[in-house]
Every structure is written in structure tokens, then in C-alpha cells.
Amino acid sequence: MSEADCRVELLDWGQAMALARPVRETVFVSEQKVPIELEWDEWDEASVHAIALLGPDFRKMNVAGTGRLLPTAPDGSARLGRMAVLSQCRAKGIGQLILNALLAEARRRNVRRIDIHAQLYAADFYRRAGFMQEGDVFDEAGIPHIAMSLKLISPA
């Protein structure tokens, strides 16, 4: 997928909510059966949200996916999460564009390490981006996950 076909915008929750909510409810709640009360949390308001928009006419954009970058912790780490791409848009590079945008924002913020709880089926996607597995498989919301991290900046 090229930049001409897909644009990723970084937005605060006030701007992103109406765009991200339908994607996350479709992917996590409807497809993956995550209880809706687990999907929405206090971190949405504090996070920066990536929204992938499709279409040649940017006045009539279709949302294809989303992800979020949580605030930087005192140790210089930040967590990435709620990565979701609609089923009809998968395997087109949209997830990579979302990830790239969030990693670029993390670098801009001088984040040293990105942590993620990756769904097991998506672990190879994150490995290709340089993430390393940390620990064993665990259950989160009834779905197998693994903790992964990516060093962005070497400690001084």
C-alpha cells in the first residue's frame, strides 16, 4: 500500500474517538470477542492515536485501522497497543504504516523502549519490525499474548 492510497494521521482522543471506536469494536469486540468493558480504558484519553485513512479523495476517507501510543513512563519506555486493522484491509501494509507512524512519534518524544503485549498470531509482524519476545505466552482477555519490546534509543 502506498502513501497515495493510505494516510496515517496522529490524533488526540478527542479527534480520534469517532474514527477509532468503530474499528476497535469491530476487530476486538465483534471478531475477537473481547468484552466491551475491557476495550475502553483510561489510557485512551492520555494516548496519541494513529488512524489509517484510505482513499484517493481525502474528503471521503475510509478508516482502515488504528493503534495508540501511551504516554512515556519515567524510565523512558512507552507502550504501544490497540493495533487493529479491519479484515477487508489486512495484508495490504496498513498495519506497518500505523506501526511506522507510532514508532516515529515515539522517537520524536525520545522514548527509549517500546513495549507491547502482542497477540500471539501477530508476533512475527512485530519481530520483523525488530521487537524481541520477553517471557512466555500469557492470556489477556481470553487471547494468547506475548510481551515484546523494541529499543529505540540507547541509554546514555
End-to-end alpha carbon distance in the chain: 37
Asked if residue 1 has pLDDT above 60, the reply is no
Residue 35 banded pLDDT, cuts 50, 70, 90: confident
Q: Residue 99: name the closest of 10, 5, 2 by CA.
A: 10
Asked, for residue 135, whether it belongs to a domain, the answer is no
Average pLDDT estimate for 63-67: 95
pLDDT exceeds cutoff 90 at 82: yes
**Is residue 47 included in any domain, yes or no?**
yes
- Give the closest residue to 2 by CA, choosing from 92, 87, 129, 90: 92
Residue count (the chain): 156
Share of the chain above pLDDT 90, in %: 71
Is 147 domain-assigned?
no
Domains identified in the chain, total number: 1
Residue 4 has pLDDT above 60, yes or no: no
| pLDDT (mean) for 84-105 | 93
Mean pLDDT, range 7-35, rounded to an integer: 91
Q: Residue 50 contacts by C-beta under 8 Å, 6 or more apart in sequence?
A: 8, 9, 10, 11, 66, 67, 68, 69, 98, 101, 102, 105
In a domain, 66, yes or no: yes
For residues 115 and 149, the answer to whether their CB atoms sit within 8 Å is yes
CATH code, domain with 53: 3.40.630.30
Q: What is the dihedral of CA 115, 119, 125, 130, to 10 degrees?
A: 20
91 located within any domain: yes
pTM: 0.89
pLDDT of 41:
85
Average pLDDT over residues 33-39: 84
Boundaries of domain holding 22: 6-114
Pairing state of beta strands 77-85 and 62-69? antiparallel
Q: Residue range 116-120: average pLDDT?
A: 95
Q: Does residue 63 contact residue 52 with C-beta atoms inside 8 Å?
A: yes
101 in any annotated domain: yes
Q: What is the pLDDT of residue 56?
A: 62
The yes-or-no verdict on residue 59 having pLDDT over 80 is: no
Q: Is residue 78 part of a domain?
A: yes
In a domain, 154, yes or no: no
Predicted confidence band of residue 34 (pLDDT cuts 50, 70, 90): confident
